[in-house]
Chains A and B, each alone.
Chain A
Amino acid sequence: MRYSAFSLLRQGLAGHAGWQQAWRSPPLQPRYDAVVVGGGGHGLAAAYYLARVHGVRRVAVLERGWLGGGNTGRNTTIVRSNYFFPESVALYDFALRQYEQLSEELNFNIMLSQRGMLCLGHSEHDMEMMARAVNAMQINGIDTELLDAAQVRAELPLANFTADARYPIHGGFVQRRGGIARHDAVAWGYARAADALGVDIVQNCEVLDFIITGGRIAGVRTSRGDVAAGAVGLSPSGHSGVLAAKAGFRLPITSYALQAMVSEPVKPVLHMVAMSWATGMYVSQSDKGELVFGAGLDLYPSYAQRGNLPTTQAIVAAMLEIFPAFRRLKMLRQWAGIVDVPWDYSPILGPSPVANLYLNCGWGTGGFKATPAGGYFLAHAMATGRHHPISAPFDLGRFSTGALIDEAAGAGIAH
């Protein structure tokens, strides 16, 4: 069934009784040509591109919980491509360009809102670093502009411009194509489109181990039985290290809790995504009116999806220093997801140390914006056995050659 204004009207008049299920819940088959582990946005996108771009017939996505219940359903939905290094720009802008036409391609409204993302500079030193970053981004073809304090004030009148502000605002920079999208819709849109191409999405199916014969991955052992597989792709985000260990290798990754929270909904008060480099705090207002905000990682490894109080406190404090008017708002929810962070804050893509096993991990704190790219390049690697030119610099081998893509230092990374 195609979604359109007309189908909405027709179903509305018929009491909404005629909507069909968006995807099937098929039984697990004993053999597939390609198996993707992890039913987040990335894994679902990989399955979709395997079927659509590469014509792979029997594809399965195996998800241990429910579809999109990992970081895909827990992130703060910021999309942007204002990265520092050319390799990163090629990757993240590929994703943003896909997002710009994805609602149409998938026939599912992902509610992309390119409202602009504005980063605040709190000192002259911040402003010098921002000028450097903006120059690099412009050379790479990214739509960024440096702003002075008056220009920032015109965009964010509620920010703290008083003389005694704890974080004085000296200026900032903006990417106008940045913004937010609906995270669940991205997962659901890819799931529905993949299902329509015959992909089996199997939920409540945990991959427990790998079947390895002659040094090659031949399949996976799951909580629902064994599955033989042509190629296996890993897209398990926070659990990348757990699955790598089952396949017999270690990754340059540490898993941490990243938390976020929302306030009660209010009328429109903030029309852009605002982010503060010095504190890591960022905030946007959802279409429902809630202020959605977060900042940095909890400071030690964790697989507990909740987040600790000292970090919550630091995030709230930074937000209220920069937007004092939000002091009166009640907090509605706080949560965390487990993110897989590599040393250079860039993802790890492509072939793994074990033949026939491909990686799409290490997206850490910032992979929602890259969902179409992660899926596209994982599908490419699984179907061809090789890197796409855009994913090649992100190979695991960079940790041996030393060719790291250090976005932690380059872009002052945030989500």
Chain B
Amino acid sequence: MLLIECPWCGARDEPEFTYGGEPAVRPGPATEVGDAEWTGYLYLRGNEKGAHRELWCHSAGCGQWFVMERDTVTHATIAVVRR
């Protein structure tokens, strides 16, 4: 069970949160973006073993999204950032 530090509410249990994937910036303008760039944005991921940047939502709490850097081997939180 993860104890996740919501930057607004403080430490809460894992079931209160929803994992939202790796943060990615939508490329644009759409008419100038090629297939390779779209593929990268839509589908390709770092999937790092170790430090991993992730979006999380405190869905059963304050409802805010935030970025958490987490170690995918130890599950330890490295940093939590307000967005």
**A interface list, Cβ under 8 A from B:** 239, 241-242, 245, 250-255, 299-304, 308-310, 343, 399-400
Contacts and interface: CB of A to CB of B under 8 A. Distances in A.
Nearest to B38: A400
A118 to B, nearest CB: 31
Contacts of B70: 300
Contact of B47 (A253, A310, A343): A253
Given A253-B47, A400-B35, A400-B38, 10 more contacts: A241-B47, A241-B48, A242-B49, A250-B44, A251-B45, A299-B19, A300-B70, A303-B72, A399-B39, A400-B39
B30 interface: no
Contact of A252 (B15, B35, B43): B43
A203 B44 CA distance: 31
Interface string B15-48: 1001101000000000000011011101111111
B46 A241 contact: yes
A342 to B, nearest CB: 8
Contacts of A255: 47, 49, 72
A254 B43 contact: no
A303 B48 CA distance: 9
Nearest to B44: A250
A195 B36 CA distance: 42
Nearest to A240: B47
Nearest to A253: B47
22 contacts: A239-B49, A241-B49, A250-B44, A250-B45, A251-B44, A251-B45, A252-B44, A253-B45, A254-B45, A255-B47, A300-B2, A301-B47, A301-B52, A302-B72, A303-B49, A303-B72, A308-B1, A310-B14, A310-B15, A399-B42, A399-B43, A399-B44
Nearest to B74: A304
A251 B40 CA distance: 9
Contact of B19 (A250, A300, A309): A300
A301 B47 CA distance: 8
B36 A309 contact: no
A251 B18 CA distance: 23
B1 A304 contact: no
Contact of A304 (B39, B44, B54, B75): B75
B55 to A, nearest CB: 11
B60 interface: no
Contacts of A308: 1-2, 14
B12 to A, nearest CB: 13
A312 to B, nearest CB: 10
Contacts of A239: 49
Contacts of B49: 239, 241-242, 255, 303
B31 to A, nearest CB: 18
Given A245-B46, A251-B44, A254-B45, A303 B73 contact: yes
Contacts of B46: 241, 245, 250
A304 B72 contact: yes
Contacts of A303: 49-50, 72-73
Contacts of A309: 1
A198 B47 CA distance: 36
Contacts of B35: 400
The 5 closest A-B pairs by CB, nearest first: A241-B47, A252-B43, A300-B19, A250-B44, A400-B39
B24 to A, nearest CB: 11
Nearest to B46: A250
Contacts of B43: 252, 343, 399
Given A300-B54, A308-B1, A400-B36, A254 B47 contact: yes
Contacts of A251: 44-45, 47
B71 to A, nearest CB: 9
A253 B21 CA distance: 11
A242 B54 CA distance: 17
B69 to A, nearest CB: 12
Nearest to A401: B35
A303 B18 CA distance: 19
A254 B44 CA distance: 9
Given A241-B47, A299-B19, A310-B14, A250 B75 contact: no
B1 A310 contact: yes
Contacts of B2: 300, 308
A254 B48 CA distance: 9
Contacts of A399: 39, 42-44
